[in-house]
Chains A and B, each alone.
Chain A
Amino acid sequence: MSFIPKPKVAHPSLPKNELGLTRRDYEGVMSTLCAGCGHDSVTAAIIEAVWGLSIRPEQVVKLSGIGCSSKTTAYFVSGGHGFNSVHGRMPSIATGAIAANKDLYYIGVSGDGDTLSIGFGQFAHAIRRNINMLYIIENNGVYGLTKGQFSASADIGSKTKRGEENLQPPIDPVVAGLTLGAGFVARSFSGDKQQLVPLIQAGLKYKGFALIDVLSPCVTFNDHEGSTKSYRFVREHYDEVVHADFVPPAQEITIQYSPGEAIPVTMHDGSRIVLRKLDERYDPTRRGKAYNYLRDRLAKGEYVTGLIYIDEKGRDFHEVNGTTDTPINQLPYEVLTPGAAALEQIMSRYR
């Protein structure tokens, strides 16, 4: 961390988005994480992505559990809404909030501990319900906040700073997401904003549950020789299969793709994700194939990254449950509380 807040002075030629705001307008309070923590880079990527989409700060809802990763919701978009839940319980809070108001952008930030151990059940049900949110796991292979114990994402053979080896197999959040039926599954790296920023933008625009597992090294407890989640190890075992470019609705696709290489996917609001395959045998629209490819590479100790799987046709939570179109805080009192007569009617159905 640093001890002085980032001064308000800014580059005079800082670009402005459609709302006339600069990146600096999307910052949060000063980070208290260790200097060099991958999580701070993810924060910067979220700021860049939300700014780039010209989302009004007050349209953003930030949700998290407990952990260094979960603390970061305070470090971006100060103008947004936020809820820091108890450990592993962010999905329930998110579900409630989303049910109540479908007009906002929901960003959940969790850790590998928060998601894959104490919160694993909640995580699975959030996917199952296909709640409309972006769920980011800042994955460092350890419980950073409690001083570096192995988490459930630690690989077999990975060593702690003091040399102890992890012997239990990991839960891979991407494999889990794919098998649980998530419609948007991606993996990225805190040190690769070129990949991460468009993925966050695509995830925010995706209708349904969008999962991004971001490898995000813990400089203090898991960036040493022998770690499989260090900056160096991740860079050496990095395999980007599909690069996603995000193209907002009104914009032309200007990048030149060679034929057969690019797959444009149109989202419900008209924006597009152009998927650029870096491995031609790969198909990000086939869940089974994606799963096999992933398992294959994981066995070789490689991190497959990019937009690994996407399905635009799934029915989200709102559709399935017929949630209210008008946020409940805007519903008239009579609609929200129909009174004793209506209650009587409901009760009579069970008599």
Chain B
Amino acid sequence: MEPTDTKNPNYYHRVVDCQWACPAHTDVPEYIRLIALGEFTEAYLVNRESNVFPGILGRVCDRPCEPACRRGRVEAEPVAICRLKRVAADHREDIRARLPRAPKKKNGKRIACIGAGPASLTVANDLLPLGYEITMFEKWHAPGGLMRTNIPSFRLPARVLDEEIGYILDMGVDLRLGTEVKSLKQLLASGEFDAVFVGSGAPKGKDLDLPGRRASLHVMEHIHIGIEWLESVAFGHTRAIGKRVLIIGVGNTAMDCCRTSLRLGATDVKVMARKPRGFFKASDWELKDAEEESVEIVVNHSPKAFVVENERLVGMTFDKMEYDIDAQGRIVGERVVGEAFLPCDDVILAIGQENAFPWIEDDIGIEFDRWHVPKIDKVTLQSTLPNVFFGGDAAFGPKNIIWAVEHGHQAAISIHKYCQGLPVSERLPPTLKLSSRKMGLHEWAYKNEYNPIERRLMPHVDLKERFKKVDIEVELGFTPEQTAAEVQRCLNCDIQTVFDANLCIECDACVDICPVDCLTITANGPEDELRTRLKAPAMNAAQPLFVSVPLKQTGRVMVKDENLCVHCGLCAERCPTAAWDMQKSKIKIPYAIDETHPSCFSPQTRKSA
């Protein structure tokens, strides 16, 4: 193998599994250490810099960081990263004085944001401090997008939403609530805006056209489209549902629908899944939370028809399915093995969302593909009409909040460059700084001891209590004891093992002491073969190998399998020559503010068109 190029900032970034997996690259180990020190405000601000909504995300983030977390490979369960984020949010002091401010003197550029969901809000967050004027159009009478209308308040209280959205709006957004944009053509023609950001989400819930769907008014009134139904619950229009409810689909929307039903009077709620467990779209924790509330999840039932008697919906029929699953766990065959009837009073369809842009005209230069999805540049988020940018669910279909935030950051960079007349595709790369954590012979400026403690469990409101009102937040947040324990589970993956081959005398001390057998000194070879020859075979190909330049005494190479390193620093403690050092990596992710060209936006900048 070629010697590893550790100058490439991505090398060490990748070692920080959680940060690498987070779409917005939140500096997780840094904020966890701050929480450990009791510095909740600082921890909150580290979060806010990248993910903008720590209090919201600390409750409902999709948390791609957790399955990626190294702790999950070293033992079974990852660090409760998301829960700790909430700890930082719950215990922060008033941070308003430390938030960025919009300058009094504007830069003369005006941006329209369509929709007031997390994507648009992030664009505003990044551009307001640069002197932009932001006008945000929202069809509902409250900002927040699906976070407000669809994520139930027993998971995400309105208070938390209001506070974090407020930080952005208070910088001076011209927010136009109850204002649906009906024509992009008109908006552009008004000449009011230098650029437009489309953050309108994926608002269309999929329907299920089966026999009986429109048999009578009663039937139509008792079959609901999941996201529309949640919306009307959120706004207080829907306050009740029948006793027996069938939810079709087993994604995250289904989980919110079933739990909401229980709070509106349902007593027998079944989530109907076409496939077996393991093929569900819903996150594990959402499934667990629903099952804790006695929701039944019925597998291998494929919807067939709505059953109507005397013009009333009385139930549904399903094909009972059987699947062949191969060794890789993929479905390779399926067949119908019977039929089942399940009685019900209401059905909620939670089988997916689509984007829809009835308000974007075909002749204004925005190209769509066959499925009427706009053609968007993956990096710049620019559409085929140079002054129109997309982000969040509107860009590539339904994702989640943290992706919407990341799109917001990237779109803000693009808009900023566009407004300065700079090419949007030339963007600053992320950079990485290393600094040693060595304090003394065996002293490190981080806690390097491995703590075998197991993942803490989130305490919940009592099962009897929680159904009394629709907006009782179920999760209570970690106790101080739980927090103190959980922070110790983080392995400090950003404290990197940095190797200097010139110093190594090949004494093997590091190889011998490494508790997880990461290190090997051996003859170099092709990667596939080298992986088999290490002290512990490196079978996780998704995790990189570090390979040094040839060592001075024997010409062999130092190889490190990054997969399971627990960053205990023992290699560096045992190394007599300090060939290994523990160095903290700090990844700098560029934002719009970093892309300001010195010659732009000087006082004499003219206002264009």
- Stretch in contact with the other chain, from B307-315, B348-356, B501-509: B501-509
Interface-side segment among A7-15, A126-134, A204-212, A278-286? A7-15
Contact A35 B512 (CB under 8 A): no
Interface string of A287-304 (1 = CB under 8 A from B): 000000000000000000
B residues adjacent to A (C-beta < 8 A): 73-75, 442-443, 448-450, 452, 505-509, 511-513, 515-517, 536-537, 539, 553-554, 564, 566, 568, 570, 573-577
In the complex, chain A residues whose CB is within 8 Å of the CB of B539? 13
Could you tell me if B508 and A44 are in contact, using CB atoms closer than 8 angstroms? yes
A8: B residues at CB distance < 8 A: 450, 452, 515
Complex partner residue of B508 from A3, A11, A24, A190, CB under 8 angstroms? A190
Q: Which of B73, B449, B512 sits near A7, CB closer than 8 Å?
A: B449
Does any Cβ of B come within 8 Å of A37's Cβ?
yes
Bits for A334-347, please: 1 = Cβ < 8 Å to B, else 0. Answer: 00000000000000
Is B576 a contact of A34 with CB atoms below 8 Å?
Answer: yes
Question: Given A4-B448, A223-B505, A232-B553, A11–B517 Cβ distance below 8 Å?
Answer: yes
CA–CA, A13 and B536, complex, Å: 7
Q: A35-B574, A38-B507 are in contact. Are A9 and B74 (CB under 8 A)?
A: yes
Residues of chain A with a CB closer than 8 A to B508's CB: 41, 44, 190-191, 193
Contact B449 A4 (CB under 8 A): yes
Given contacts A193-B508, A235-B554, 11 further A-B contacts (CB under 8 A): A1-B573, A2-B570, A3-B573, A9-B450, A9-B452, A10-B515, A14-B536, A40-B512, A41-B507, A232-B505, A235-B506
Contact indicator B570/A231 (Cβ below 8 Å): no
A202 and B505 CA atoms in complex are apart in Å by 28
Q: Mark A195-222, 1 if CB is under 8 A from B, else 0.
A: 0000000000000000000000101000
Question: Which 6 pairs show the lowest CB-CB distances between chains A and B?
Answer: A36-B576, A7-B450, A2-B573, A44-B512, A3-B442, A11-B536
Picked from B442, B449, B553, B574, the residue with its CB within 8 Å of the CB of A36 is B574
Q: How far is the CA of A190 from the CA of B515 in the complex (A)?
A: 20
Main secondary structure of the interface of B (DSSP, over half): loop
Do A9 and B75 touch across chains, with their CB atoms under 8 A apart?
yes
10 contacts between A and B (CB under 8 A): A4-B449, A4-B570, A7-B450, A9-B75, A11-B536, A12-B74, A34-B576, A41-B508, A44-B512, A191-B508
Among B73, B450, B511, B574, the residue within 8 A (CB) of A2 is B574
Question: A43 within 8 Å of B by Cβ?
Answer: yes
Known: A4-B570, A35-B574. A9 touches B554 (CB 8 A): no
Q: How many residues of A are counted as interface, with CB atoms below 8 angstroms from the partner's CB atoms? A: 33
Q: Total A-B pairs in contact (CB under 8 Å)?
A: 102
Question: Given contacts A2-B573, A2-B574, A11-B536, are A35 and B509 in contact (CB under 8 A)?
Answer: yes
CB distance from A238 to the nearest CB of B (A): 10
Minimal beta-carbon separation of B580 from chain A (angstroms):
10
Give Cα A191–Cα B510 distance, bound, in whole angstroms.
12
Q: Is the CB of B452 within 8 A of A6?
A: no
Residue of A nearest to B573 (CB): A2
Contact partner of B573 (CB less than 8 A), chosen from A12, A35, A41, A232, is A35
| Contacting pair B512 A41 (CB below 8 A) | yes
Q: Interface residues, chain A, CB within 8 Å of chain B? A: 1-4, 6-15, 24, 34-38, 40-41, 43-44, 190-191, 193, 217, 219, 223, 231-232, 235
**Residues in B whose Cβ lies below 8 Å from that of A41:** 507-509, 512
CB-CB under 8 A from A36, the residues of chain B are 505, 507, 509, 574-577
* A11-B574 contact in complex given A43-B512, A235-B554, C-beta closer than 8 Å: no
In the complex, what residues of A have CB within 8 A of residue B568's CB? 4, 7
Contact of B516 among A11, A44, A217, A223 (CB under 8 A): A11
Are A7 and B564 in contact, CB atoms less than 8 angstroms apart? no
A11/B576 contact (C-beta < 8 A), A6-B513, A217-B507 known: no
Interface of A is mostly: loop
Q: Bound complex: CA of A40 vs CA of B554, how far in Å?
A: 20
- Which residue of B509, B537, B566 contacts A9 across the interface (Cβ within 8 Å)? B566
Q: What A residues does B505 contact at CB under 8 A?
A: 36, 219, 223, 231-232
**Chain A proximity of B571: nearest CB distance (Å):** 9
What chain B residues lie within 8 Å of A37 (beta carbons)?
507, 509, 576
Does the CB pair A219–B516 fall under 8 Å?
no
Residue among B506, B509, B517, B573 with most chain A CB within 10 A: B509
Q: Are B442 and A2 in contact (CB under 8 A)?
A: yes
Cα of A217 to Cα of B508 in the assembled complex, Å? 12
In the complex, what distance in Å separates the CA atom of A209 from the CA atom of B574?
33
Distance in Å from the Cβ of A98 to the closest Cβ of chain B?
A: 29
Q: How far apart sit A12 and B574, CA to CA, in the bound complex (Å)?
A: 23
Q: Whole-angstrom distance between the alpha carbons of A140 and B353 in the complex?
A: 72
- In the complex the two chains form, is A14's CB within 8 Å of B573's CB? no
List the B side residues contacting A40 at CB < 8 Å: 509, 512-513, 574
- A205 to B460 alpha-carbon distance, docked (Å): 60
In whole angstroms, how far apart are the Cα atoms of A153 and B369 in the complex?
Answer: 81
By beta carbon, the residue of chain A nearest B576 is: A36
A2 → chain B closest CB, angstroms: 4
Nearest A residue to B535, CB-CB? A11
Task: Output the nearest chain A residue to B517 by Cβ-Cβ distance.
Answer: A11
Cβ contacts under 8 Å, A14 to chain B? 517, 536
A6 CA / B74 CA spacing, docked (Å) = 15
**A residues in contact with B448, CB < 8 Å:** 4
B448: nearest residue on chain A (CB-CB)? A4
On chain A, the residues within 8 Å of B537 by CB distance are: 13
Inter-chain contact A10/B507, CB cutoff 8 Å: no
Given contacts A2-B570, A35-B573, A231-B553, whether A7 and B452 have CB atoms under 8 Å apart is yes
Which residue on chain B has the smallest CB distance to residue A216? B507
Cβ–Cβ contact A219 & B576, under 8 A: yes
Q: For B507, give its contact among A7, A15, A191 (CB under 8 Å).
A: A191
CB distance from B569 to the nearest CB of A (A): 8
A231 touches B577 (CB 8 A): no
* CB-CB nearest in chain B for A219: B576
**Whose C-beta in chain A lies nearest to the C-beta of B505?**
A231
Q: Give Cα A231–Cα B576 distance, bound, in whole angstroms.
A: 12
| Cα separation A1 to B513 with both chains bound (whole Å) | 10
| Chain B residues with CB below 8 A from A2, complex form | 442, 513, 570, 573-574
Measured CB to CB, the closest approach of chain B to A49, in angstroms, equals 13
Given known A-B contacts A191-B507, A231-B507, A9 and B516 have beta carbons under 8 A apart: yes
CA distance A1 to B575 in the complex (A): 9
User: Do A191 and B566 touch (CB < 8 A)?
Assistant: no
B517 contacts which chain A residues (CB < 8 A)?
10-11, 14
Most buried by A among B443, B507, B570: B507
